[in-house]
């Protein structure tokens, strides 16, 4: 692993970045969808399967113990990274599963007719649909805090919604996957907690961009996906405050989550095992542990500065072109840039970029309600990671310029 922050050197840790597509070197600018994986992660997974594979929690032989220790070490690494206790870390498949778990256990148990679940207008479908599913069953209702023209949550409106309604739970994204807005989550969580509101933070887009200190953030639940944090797919994390996890019923039933089972009745294990029914994704957890270690080994201040500079370079370049609209101009933004070109469909822009080896996303980014507010069916989204380079941003801007010329 590279010890100091030099993007050119760091790229060598990520074998896929050396590939070419359409005869051009890959410029991977779709990091908000999933991030690429360093050798440290790929090797940790391969080495687990080569040397330590056994089912966990079941064997009393040495190999099973080795697998189990590695699985629990991964939990410790994640807990340390988030500054919480390891009992508060539940391994899940990803952010989507984490949010569904909270909705179908904590919320289903605690919501009643007329209670309010408060969301914001910029939520990903993963932070909308699970709440619709649970409010339909419980008679609770969803209310939505609006955003302003820059793509920031209207905080006055949010406080008013918190005060005017019997809000039981507030669930919001830390960083918007479509607009890049970094929400003032600690302030919002602190206001919600003053009013006795339980808080859920979708950290899918914040976890890959810097350290996360959940003690400082103060939320009750926090979710993120391993694959966006340079780790494997199919593994993610739900943090839940100990006191809340202890009260929650299980999500899935089966092996590994029980204390005792008879045909009449089952008693359940303590958290986090209560929420990890069945054979877990051991290799995924180990890969995630390796990803967390890799990420923590970087100079995260330098990472943030580099990503900000790529974002600003891309925004300035795109704004210099005719007919470009940037969606999301919050003062505090992650390196996510959504834009549209007048008279050119986002899918055509993405196809043109792909012809030059540049990978971006075009679509609604699983934020259809937000797209409706923006008045567009879709946007083009370039999202940067620490391994991206200014040359790649230049290629993006140049190719967008050529796309505009082509459609004239």
Interface contacts to ligand PLP, rule CB under 6 A = 94-96, 124, 126-127, 173, 177, 202, 204-205, 225
Of 29 and 397, nearer to ligand PLP (C-beta) is 29
Q: Can you spell out the DSSP letters for 135-162?
A: HHHH--EEEEE-B-TTS-B-HHHHHHHH
Other Cβ atoms within 10 Å of 267 Cβ, number: 9
Of 225 and 340, nearer to ligand PLP (C-beta) is 225
Q: Is the dihedral of CA 275, 291, 283, 236 positive or negative?
A: positive
- Give the Cα separation of 55 and 145 in Å (integer): 45
CB-side exposure of 109: number of CA atoms within 13 Å? Answer: 12
Cα 268 to Cα 215, 241, 248, 249, 261, distances in angstroms: 28, 18, 11, 9, 9
CA angle 105, 134, 126 (to 5 degrees): 90
Give strand pairing partners of 120. Answer: 145
Cβ at position 284, least distance to ligand PLP in Å? 12
Name the active-site residue from 219, 366, 367, 406.
Answer: 366
Write out the two tokens for 368.
Answer: 């259809």
- Length of the chain counted residue by residue: 408
- Give the Cα separation of 235 and 226 in Å (integer): 5
Q: Give the torsion through C-alpha atoms of 348, 350, 354, 358, to 10 deg.
A: 150
Of 214 and 404, nearer to ligand PLP (C-beta) is 214
- Give the Cα separation of 166 and 293 in Å (integer): 42
- Give the Cα separation of 268 and 92 in Å (integer): 18
Cα 124 to Cα 130, 222, 247, 376, distances in angstroms: 11, 15, 27, 16
- Give the Cα separation of 67 and 386 in Å (integer): 32
Cβ at position 31, least distance to ligand PLP in Å? 11
Cβ at position 87, least distance to ligand PLP in Å? 23
Give strand pairing partners of 170. Answer: 118, 199
- Could you confirm whether 152 is annotated as catalytic? no
CB-side exposure of 398: number of CA atoms within 13 Å? Answer: 11
Instruction: Report the catalytic residues.
Output: 366
């Amino acid at each position: 692993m590279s010890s100091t922050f030099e993007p050119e050197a760091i790229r060598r840790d990520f074998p896929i970045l050396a590939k070419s597509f359409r005869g051009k070197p890959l410029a991977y600018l779709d990091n908000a969808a999933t991030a690429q994986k360093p050798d440290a992660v790929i090797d940790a997974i391969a080495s687990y399967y080569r040397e330590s594979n056994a089912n966990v929690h079941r064997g009393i032989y040495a190999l099973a113990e080795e697998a189990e220790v590695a699985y629990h070490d991964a939990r410790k690494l994640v807990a340390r990274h988030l500054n919480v206790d390891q009992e508060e870390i539940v391994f899940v498949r990803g952010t989507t599963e984490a949010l569904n778990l909270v909705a179908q256990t904590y919320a289903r148990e605690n919501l009643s007719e007329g209670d309010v679940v408060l969301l914001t207008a910029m939520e990903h479908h993963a932070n909308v649909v699970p709440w619709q599913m649970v409010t339909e069953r419980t008679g609770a209702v969803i209310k939505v805090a609006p955003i302003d023209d820059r793509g920031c949550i209207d905080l006055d409106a949010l406080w008013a919604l918190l005060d005017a309604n019997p809000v039981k739970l507030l669930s919001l994204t830390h960083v918007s996957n479509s607009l890049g807005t970094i929400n003032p989550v600690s302030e919002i969580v602190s206001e919600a907690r003053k009013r006795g509101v339980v808080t859920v933070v979708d950290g899918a887009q914040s976890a890959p961009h810097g350290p996360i200190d959940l003690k400082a953030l103060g939320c009750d639940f926090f979710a993120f996906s391993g694959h966006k944090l340079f780790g494997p797919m199919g593994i993610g994390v739900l943090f839940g405050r100990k006191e809340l996890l202890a009260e929650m019923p299980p999500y899935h039933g089966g092996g590994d989550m029980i204390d005792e089972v008879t045909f009449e009745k089952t008693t359940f294990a303590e958290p986090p095992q209560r929420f990890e029914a069945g054979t877990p994704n051991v290799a995924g957890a180990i890969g995630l542990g390796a990803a967390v270690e890799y990420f923590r080994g970087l100079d995260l201040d330098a990472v943030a500065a580099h990503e900000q500079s790529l974002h600003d370079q891309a925004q300035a370049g795109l704004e210099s072109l005719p007919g470009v609209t940037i969606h999301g101009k919050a003062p505090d933004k992650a390196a996510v840039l959504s834009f549209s070109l007048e008279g050119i469909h986002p899918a055509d822009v993405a196809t043109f970029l792909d012809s030059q080896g540049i990978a971006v996303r075009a679509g609604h980014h699983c934020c259809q309600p937000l797209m409706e507010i923006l008045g567009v069916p879709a946007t083009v989204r370039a999202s940067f990671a620490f391994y991206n380079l200014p040359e790649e941003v230049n290629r993006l801007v140049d190719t967008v310029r050529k796309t505009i010329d082509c459609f004239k």
